[in-house]
């Protein structure tokens, strides 16, 4: 406990440039103010925050007036929920009026009622480890629901009855899974039971809010823990049904692997390789590659067939999976660029297995690069992660073969600039050579020259023009 107190003291001293003036400002105006939620929890875990959340007895109009007198910039988009935000130097601050919120059983949006006490405000928060506060300006620690004890036991528990908490805001059921993934905490069995019993309540929450929680979960350090909890409680069946569908019944001889467990392992192995994606991500977790790992086999349940001898096949599960992935991500309101990238990776994730022991021609390698496009590095990660065999000889053979493919890509890229793969003639040169104007014929000619480029590599303008004229003469 002494270590925790010391860590909290250091963090409070670090953020004193915000705590002290704001505490004095609100106190002088006759209002209570407290640092709350994640910043308090993470201070005890030794984690620093520059985004700070406060709760106050002041109503939004008073909060806005006080913050404008102190901060560099103020925003009020959250006013309807009692929240006023501001920036002061490197600090981002949100101050929210004490409140309680609840859901009408038929409504997707919470109703907000302002409260009058800090303890009442903390009681409406999702978990006890997020229901701690530091009252300002005197820096008094407030923990009415045993958050410190739960933090010590690495346990997620609601301040009151979980049924009441989840009834007030069903999204908290997803937050339980998200915090399990972010913090590596266990979830109280009473909370798990309530999540299972009330899973259908998540249906009233908007797709956008569900998406945001799933993104945070997938990007967390321990996504397997959160995803497993969603499957165990039945929530995944309602928000990401393709995941529990992977828990296929095995045939009696256990001749095919557990696709659900395989998927979670592929996700973890993909995360282990994210260092390769630093140029795309800046070094942080990569949502696209993690979603691709999570969704890469979702086509298997629909394509599973038992054949003679008890063998199981999943023909075309890559193509079917890409369609299912696109539909699910669209339903969750993901951005188009994310949907396109993840769907492409799912569709291409088996392509390498046609490489065999390296028999691909240079033309096939060029097409692999062309089809992957700007997702090539992520495709490398997904393909390598997709090897979960316990047969070490087989795993080593696959690794060596993919090493060889990457080496060939690197060699061809250096020789032919694969990343900028285009025909030897552009559209203007095609029209000049054929004596035609803009139109669909130019597109057909362009695709002919691109296929030629893929098959034979760079030809030079003269050879490409001769081939184009020969092709054109055979079109009549």
Q: Which domains does the chain have, with CATH numbers?
A: 1-146 (3.30.460.10), 154-240 (1.10.110.30), 245-420 (1.10.3210), 427-473 (no CATH)
Residues paired with residue 313 on neighbouring β-strands, in sequence order? 305
What's residue 99's pLDDT?
83
Is the omega angle on the peptide bond into residue 137 within 30 degrees of 0, that is, cis? yes
Q: Which residues pair with 33 in a beta bridge?
A: 56, 136
Report residue 131 as tokens. 């229901």
Among candidate residues 145, 208, 196, 195, the one with its CA nearest the CA of residue 165: 195
Nearest CA to 223 among 310, 160, 137, 294? Answer: 294
**Running DSSP on this structure, what letter comes out for residue 249?**
P
Is it the case that residue 327 has pLDDT exceeding 70? yes
pLDDT of residue 254: 46
In 201-335, which residue ranges form alpha helices assigned H by DSSP?
207-218, 223-233, 236-239, 259-272, 278-281, 287-295, 300-303, 317-331
**Widest CA span of the chain, in angstroms?**
88
Average pLDDT over residues 403-419: 77
Q: Are 358 and 401 in contact (CB under 8 A)?
A: yes
Q: Which helix (H) or strand (E) holds 64?
A: helix 60-68
User: Higher confidence at residue 316 or residue 328?
Assistant: 328
Quote the pTM value: 0.83
Considering only residues 147 and 458, tell me which one the structure prediction assigns the higher pLDDT.
Answer: 147
Q: Give the model's pLDDT for residue 251.
A: 42
What pLDDT shows up at residue 250? 52
Report whether 187 contacts 180 (CB < 8 A). yes
> Exposure of 444 by Cβ count < 10 A (0-12 exposed, 13-18 middle, 19+ buried)?
middle
User: In sequence order, what are the residues at sequence separation of 6 or more whose Cβ sits closer than 8 angstroms to the Cβ of residue 230?
Assistant: 174, 177, 236, 239, 240, 243
Q: Does the pLDDT value for residue 168 go beyond 90? A: no
Neighbouring C-beta atoms of residue 234, cutoff 10 Å: 16
Instruction: State mean pLDDT over 236-241.
Output: 97
Give dist(CA 52, CA 67) in Å, integer.
14
Contact 224, 267 (CB under 8 A): yes
Q: What is the pLDDT of residue 137?
A: 94
Spatial contact of 289 and 375, defined as CB atoms under 8 Å apart: no
Please give the residue that has the higher pLDDT: either 126 or 307. Answer: 126
Contact (Cβ atoms closer than 8 angstroms) between residue 63 and residue 55: no
Is the model's pLDDT at 276 over the cut of 60? Answer: yes
Q: Is the pLDDT of residue 361 over 60?
A: yes
Distance CA 28, CA 203 (A): 45
Cα→Cα distances 290→208, 285, 294, Å: 19, 8, 6
**Nearest-5° Cα angle at 453, 447 to 456:** 140
User: Are residues 279 and 381 in contact, defined by beta-carbon separation less than 8 angstroms?
Assistant: no
Kindly tell me the number of DSSP H helices and DSSP E strands found in the chain.
24, 13
For residue 229, pLDDT over 90 is answered with yes
Q: Could you tell me which of 395, 405, 396, 411 has the C-alpha nearest to residue 372?
A: 405
Which helix H or strand E contains 465, and what residues bound it? helix 461-473
Q: How many CB atoms lie within 10 A of CB 291?
A: 27
Q: Model confidence at 20, in pLDDT bands (50, 70, 90)?
A: very high
User: Which run of H or E residues covers position 186?
Assistant: strand 186-187
Angle at CA 78, nearest 5°, toward 73 and 79?
A: 90
> What is the C-alpha to C-alpha distance for residues 215 and 291, in angstroms, rounded to an integer?
9
């Amino acid at each position: 406990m002494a270590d925790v107190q010391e860590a909290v003291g250091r963090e409070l001293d670090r953020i004193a440039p915000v705590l002290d003036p704001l505490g004095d400002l609100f106190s002088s105006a006759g209002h209570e103010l407290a640092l709350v939620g994640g910043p308090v929890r993470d201070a005890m875990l030794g984690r620093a925050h520059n985004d700070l959340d406060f709760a106050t007895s002041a109503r939004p109009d008073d909060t806005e007036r006080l913050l404008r007198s102190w901060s560099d910039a103020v925003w009020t988009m959250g006013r309807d929920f009692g929240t006023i935000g501001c920036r002061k130097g490197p600090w981002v601050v949100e101050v929210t009026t004490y409140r309680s919120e609840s859901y009408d059983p038929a409504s997707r949006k919470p109703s907000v009622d302002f409260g009058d006490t800090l303890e009442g405000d903390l009681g409406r928060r999702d978990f006890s480890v997020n229901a701690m506060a530091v009252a300002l300006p005197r820096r008094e620690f407030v923990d009415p629901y045993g958050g410190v004890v739960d933090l010590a036991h690495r346990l997620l528990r609601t301040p009151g009855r979980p049924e009441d908490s989840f009834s007030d805001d069903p999204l908290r059921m997803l937050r339980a899974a998200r915090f399990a993934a972010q913090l590596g905490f266990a979830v109280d069995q009473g909370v798990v039971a309530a999540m299972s019993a009330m899973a259908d309540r998540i249906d009233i929450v908007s797709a956008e809010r569900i998406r945001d929680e799933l993104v945070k979960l997938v990007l967390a350090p321990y996504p397997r823990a959160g995803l497993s909890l969603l499957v165990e409680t039945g929530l995944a069946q309602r928000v990401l049904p393709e995941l529990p569908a992977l828990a296929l019944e095995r045939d009696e001889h256990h001749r095919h692997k557990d696709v659900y467990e395989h998927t979670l392992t592929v996700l973890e192995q993909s995360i282990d390789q994210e260092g390769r994606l630093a140029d795309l991500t800046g070094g942080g977790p990569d949502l696209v590659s993690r979603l691709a790992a999570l969704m890469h086999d979702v086509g298997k349940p629909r394509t599973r067939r038992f054949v003679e001898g008890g063998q199981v096949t999943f023909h075309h599960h890559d193509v079917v999976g890409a369609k299912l992935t696109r539909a699910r991500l669209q339903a969750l309101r993901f951005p188009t660029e994310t949907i396109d990238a993840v769907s492409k990776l799912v569709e291409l994730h088996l392509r390498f297995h046609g490489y065999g022991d390296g028999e691909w021609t240079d033309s096939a390698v060029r097409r692999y690069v062309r089809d992957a496009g700007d997702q090539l590095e992520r495709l490398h990660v997904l393909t390598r992660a997709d090897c979960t065999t316990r047969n070490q000889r087989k795993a080593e053979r696959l690794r060596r073969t993919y090493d060889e493919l990457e080496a060939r890509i690197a060699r061809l890229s250096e020789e032919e600039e694969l990343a900028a793969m285009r025909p030897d003639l552009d559209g203007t040169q095609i029209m000049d050579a054929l004596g035609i104007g803009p139109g669909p014929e130019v597109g057909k000619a362009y695709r002919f020259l691109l296929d030629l480029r893929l098959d034979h590599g760079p030809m030079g303008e003269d050879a490409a023009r001769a081939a184009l004229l020969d092709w054109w003469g055979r079109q009549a």
